[in-house]
């Protein structure tokens, strides 16, 4: 029976305390390892270039300093297409969801619901699904259908 390797995650958020809390939460998951933390989009790309292919997922704040979470996601998907990206955000507006999905994100999770949805989101994305926070409005589902059909 093959040994199951841990799922490796890189975190990107400009708030150090939030990253530390998220790291603690993720490490409580039975097979999740946080293998890197970034304070901005540039550092995220640098970390991935150093550890790739040692990361399976990047959890990225949409409002990172410098290049931002949307551009960071597009860059990750361009250079490391196998890495899954879960955008985390406080923004409920449909244009943010649309931009995230259009950039190649595999999921969009509202920060206020991390406690309830983080592990289900990760698991759904790991199974090659796309995750949208349960409490986004119905317009997000329309956006999802339209956005994912335009992604190459």
Please say whether the beta carbons of 64 and 86 come within 8 A. Answer: no
The residue ranges of every structural domain in the chain are 7-150
Q: How far is CA 122 from CA 43, 49, 66, 79, 131, in A?
A: 22, 22, 26, 21, 8
The whole-number pLDDT of residue 11 equals 97
CATH topology classification for 7-150? Rossmann fold (3.40.50)
pTM above 0.85, yes or no: yes
Q: For the chain, 152 residues long, give each residue's pLDDT as a single digit of tens.
A: 344 578 999 999 999 999 999 999 998 877 899 999 999 999 999 999 998 677 999 999 999 989 999 999 999 999 999 999 999 999 988 899 999 999 999 999 999 999 899 999 999 999 999 999 986 655 555 555 565 555 43
């Amino acid at each position: 029976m093959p040994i199951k390797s841990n799922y490796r995650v890189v975190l990107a958020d400009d708030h150090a305390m939030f990253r530390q809390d998220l790291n603690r939460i993720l490490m409580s998951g039975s097979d999740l390892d946080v293998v890197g933390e970034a304070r901005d989009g540039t550092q995220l790309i640098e970390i991935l270039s150093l550890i790739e292919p040692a990361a399976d997922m990047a959890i990225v704040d949409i409002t990172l300093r410098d290049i931002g979470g949307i551009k960071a996601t597009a860059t990750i998907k361009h250079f490391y297409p196998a890495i899954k990206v879960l955008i985390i955000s406080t923004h409920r507006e449909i244009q943010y969801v649309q931009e995230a999905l259009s950039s190649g994100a595999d999921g969009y999770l509202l920060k206020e619901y991390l406690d309830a949805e983080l592990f289900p989101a990760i698991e759904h994305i790991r199974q090659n699904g796309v995750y949208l926070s349960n409490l986004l409005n119905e317009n997000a589902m329309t956006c999802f259908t339209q956005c994912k059909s335009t992604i190459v």
